[in-house]
Amino acid sequence: MTLERLDAQSVARRAAAEIAPGSVVAVSGAWAVAAADLVPEEKGVWFLRAGGTLSDLPINAADAGAALRGGHVDLSILTAAQVDSHGSFAGYHAADYPGPQGHAGLVDLASGARRVIAALPHIREDGTPNVVSALSFPQDGARCVDTIITDVAVFRVADDGLILTEVAPGWSAEEVRAITGAPVSVSPNLRDMDFDLPPGRPPSKVYADGPGAIADLPDGATVFIDGFGGPGGMAHYLLVSLRDRGSRNLTIVSNTAGIARVVSFGTPPGRTAIDHSVLVENGQVAKAIASFPVSPSVSRPSEFELAYRRGEVDLELVPQGTLAERLRAGGAGIEAFYTPTGAGTLIAEGKESRVIDGREYILEHGLRADFALIRAHQADTRGNLVYRGTSRNFNAVMAPAARVTVVEVDEIVQPGELDPEAVVTPGIFVQRIVRRPDGFTGYE
Amino acid sequence: MTDDKERLDRAIIAMRVAKELPAGSCVNLGIGIPTLVSMFVDDESVVFYHSESGVLNCGPLADEGSEDIDLINAGGQFLQSVPGMAYFSSVEAFAMIRGGHVDVTVLGAHQVSATGDLANWMLPERGVGNIGGAMDLAAGADKVIVAMEHNDRSGNPKVVQECNFPLTGRGCVSLIVTDVAVLEPTPDGMVLRETAPGWTPEEVQEVTGARLIIPDNIAEYEV
């Protein structure tokens, strides 16, 4: 074989051509990291790297795992040693295999991302193929690779095997097939490798106003509404925007179901806070999932309690810590978990329970939503958030668990103006940003 | 008859509870009498107060006119900003509770049973209630102390043999401090530990729904 194979930098360029502006990409191994380094800042791509960074944000292992498992990563690019025709891969040669502890991160990279690319040398120094029918090295992921990029070709992994879609300049399909260890079918659209980055910039997350940011919030949606109970940490402007939009039959998930209007909870003297009541009295709420749904004062019932007594709304009561953990689980790709909270009470009725080490636990399920309407103090244009004081509470927990998280902030700043060490919610969990209008107080 | 016997006031209950907080412990105080407890903990004990609203090392309440809506406790009261505070999300606030990092919680109650079942989130006649953090505290805190009046406004006992209100947790209460006694629920039943000044064990039994186990050496309620 006299044909030149591509050098590592060219393979990285081909892999980088798969990275869309604004996407979230996890990278592992030398070739994948080299691909990340080729994508310029203005493409607005979030790179999750081994060792604990999400672009320029420090991130701990639990948050990195949650980002992957919670479905927040669009693409994983991993540098493999061997891939088979079903898309299973080995991260290491058998001789270099670090053991299950050493490669644990690869398993999350492979199973959590929406799409997985494996980059690897097509053959080893002795000519043995690395793209094979069956792995001979320890497997790190089963049937998870969608695209294989080597130094001679690009394959799509289809249900019935490998489809050759691109060849390196100067190579023919037959020449690739000759050094591949698995059957290969050739795409009718076979072409030379394309090394150009996708054009364009990421779409802006900043919306001009609240109504625009929730214009597609549909009837029947599940909506997270932030705040502990008082006006601190509550997205009043988005609540009013949702009232004006009029979406109906909503399931709202929140710590309370609107108590600030009827009691002075967290509200300065002489003020009446806008809360969930604006949605309830407008007939938009079908159900609340909450821990503190009604007024602490029997003599001052909230709109929600009155509607509940009239039989107009359903209520699912959840202990506050279980609510927080259900939200965390929803955002981190955890379907369900066991907790002792509520065992032996009304909360346990109808739920699976089991005794572990002599203590009773009940099974609680993760919560996800179509929209989250949250409140923060500052956002940068990439969606990184900083909160104030006790107004962080449920905001930071809800952001990762919704399909569309809309944040209402006091101030929008440019990337670089927030200290990465101070960012609580990384921008991959925030899709839309609205600044609270000047003069809007959140009080009636 | 015990109807007109003098009972201790709420502040005295809080003072008695304060004695139960070990120096250096992490403490969560519920709403009502429990909130008063911090007034009687001396500064040298360095108790760390935790609130579900997402703050550790809460200090005193804010002065009128300097309320900050971004600095509240779990009861919706405004806090002063004090050195050493830490803010966190609801997940971390409850990891502290559920993960056993809160040493003591002091809660109010509607009923406590002889074996330490707690009912404090719903009055049956209302048909709906607020759980808030109570079930997590009942399940997760190392020690659950109930601070409450011994009887409700109609005179019904709140220390009962079995709760008939909806439960917050089973067997979770380790000590009860009321305006007439200090009691300890045990797997064998409710043990009377201390009586308020002027009360005999028999008089405490008269206003209590649970059968009391009365040891020989009953101490007088000491603050």
Q: What's the pLDDT at A65? A: 83
Overall domain count for chain A: 2
Same domain, A161 and A230: no
Between these two residues, A428 and A57, which has the higher pLDDT value?
Answer: A428
pLDDT at A54 over 90: no
Total residue length of chain B = 223
Domain boundary among A161, A192, A223: A192
Question: Distance between alpha carbon B84 and the CA centroid of its chain, in Å?
Answer: 25
Residue A103: per-residue pLDDT: 63
Instruction: Read off the pLDDT of each residue in B19-43 and give the average, rounded to a whole number.
Output: 92
A277 and A384, same domain (yes or no): yes
Over 70: is that where the pLDDT of B210 sits? yes
Question: Cα(B200)–Cα(B180) distance, rounded to whole angstroms?
Answer: 10
Give the 3-state DSSP-derived string for A92-112, with helices as H, strands as E and coil as C: CCHHHCCCCCCCHHHHHHHHH
Instruction: Indicate the domain borders of chain B.
Output: 10-37+102-220
Other beta carbons less than 10 A from residue A119's beta carbon: 28
Q: Is residue A1 assigned to a domain?
A: no
Give the Å distances, CA to CA, from A247 to A211, A280, A306, B106, B214: 12, 12, 21, 42, 62
Is there a domain that residue A184 lies in? yes
pLDDT beyond 60 at A175: yes
- Separation between Cα atoms, residue A215 and residue B71, nearest integer Å: 32
pLDDT of residue B43: 78
Determine, yes or no, domain membership for A332.
Answer: yes
- Is A420 found in the same domain as A364? yes
Report the CATH number that the domain containing residue A330 is assigned in CATH: 3.40.1080.10
Confidence check: pLDDT of B215 > 70? yes
Q: Is the pLDDT of residue B179 over 70?
A: yes
Q: What is the pLDDT of residue A100?
A: 62
Task: Give the contacts of A420 (CB within 8 A, at least 6 positions apart).
Answer: A56, A57, A58, A384
Q: Does A331 touch chain B (CB under 8 A)?
A: no
pLDDT value, residue B222: 83
A230, A320, A322 ranked by CB distance to B69: nearest? A230
State residue A231's pLDDT score: 96
> Which ranges constitute the DSSP H helices of A273-392?
277-280, 303-309, 320-332
Strands A153-158 vs A161-167: parallel, antiparallel or unpaired: antiparallel
Nearest CA-CA distance, residue A79 and chain B, Å:
35
User: Is B86 in CB contact (< 8 Å) with chain A?
Assistant: no
Residue A361 forms part of a structural domain: yes
Query: What is the predicted pLDDT for the residue at A101?
Result: 60
B222 versus A114: the higher-pLDDT residue is: A114
Catalytic member of B6, B20, B52, B125: B52
Q: In terms of domains, do A304 and A416 share one?
A: yes
pLDDT score recorded for residue A202: 92
Instruction: Please check whether residues A173 and A259 belong to one and the same domain.
Output: no
For domain B10-37+102-220, the CATH architecture is: 3-Layer(aba) Sandwich (3.40)
Both A112 and A220 in a single domain?
Answer: no
Kindly report, residue by residue over A228-272, the tens digit of the pLDDT: 999 999 999 999 999 999 999 999 999 999 999 999 899 999 999
pLDDT digits (tens, 9 = 90+) for A118-166: 999 999 999 999 999 999 999 989 999 999 999 999 999 999 999 999 9
The residues that bridge with A292 in the sheet, in sequence order, are: A256
Name residue, tokens 């190392």. B142
Q: Is the pLDDT of residue B136 over 60?
A: yes
* pLDDT for residue A96 is more than 80: no
Q: What is the mean pLDDT of residues B145-150?
A: 98
Domain for residue A113, yes or no? yes
B52 included as an active-site residue: yes
Q: What are phi and psi of A99, to 5 degrees?
A: 90, 165
- What is the band of A51 on the pLDDT scale with cuts at 50, 70, 90? confident
In angstroms and rounded to an integer, the radius of gyration of the C-alpha atoms of chain B is 17
- Are residues A95 and A38 located together in one domain of the fold? yes
Contacts of B134 in chain A (CB under 8 A): 319
Kindly report the average pLDDT of chain A as a whole number: 94
What is the pLDDT at residue A15?
97
Average pLDDT, stretch A202-228?
A: 97
Percent of chain A with pLDDT over 70: 98
State whether residue A272 sits within 8 Å of chain B by CB: no
Q: Within this chain, do residues A46 and A130 fall inside the same structural domain, yes or no?
A: yes
pLDDT at A109 (0 to 100): 82
**B165 interfacial to chain A (CB closer than 8 Å):** no
A-B CB pairs within 8 A amount to: 160
Enter the pTM of the model.
0.93
Q: Are residues A348 and A393 in the same domain?
A: yes
Structure tokens given for A438: 């000047």
B63 at A interface, C-beta within 8 A: no
Residues A87 and A136 in one domain: yes
In angstroms, the separation between the Cα of residue A218 and the nearest Cα of chain B is 28
Nearest residue of chain A to residue B81 (CA atoms):
A389
CB burial readout A183-211, b (16+ within 10 A) else e = ebebeeebeebebebeeeebeebebeebb
Q: Are residues A169 and A245 in the same domain?
A: no
* Rounded CA separation A3/A153 (Å): 13
How far is A176 from A161, CA to CA, in rounded Å?
15
- Binned at pLDDT 50, 70 and 90, residue A111 comes out as confident
Give me the phi and psi of A365, to 5 degrees please. Answer: -105, 150
- pLDDT surpasses 70 at A1: no
Which of residues 78 through 117 in chain A touch B, CB cutoff 8 A? Answer: none
Backbone angles phi and psi of B18, in degrees to 5 = -55, -30
Q: What token pair was written down for B96? A: 């502290």
- Two tokens, residue A432: 């839309």
**Residue-range definition of the domain harbouring residue A412:** 210-435
Percent of chain B with pLDDT over 90: 89
pLDDT of the residue at A102: 61
Domain boundary among A130, A161, A192: A192
Task: Determine the pLDDT at residue A104.
Answer: 61
CA-CA distance, A248 to A88, in Å (whole number)?
45
Extract the tokens encoding A147: 């695209």
- Give yes or no: residues A48 and A101 share one domain: yes
Residue B30's nearest CA partner among A315, A230, A290, A320 is A320
Burial zone of B148 (CB within 10 Å; 0-12 exposed, 13-18 middle, 19+ buried):
buried
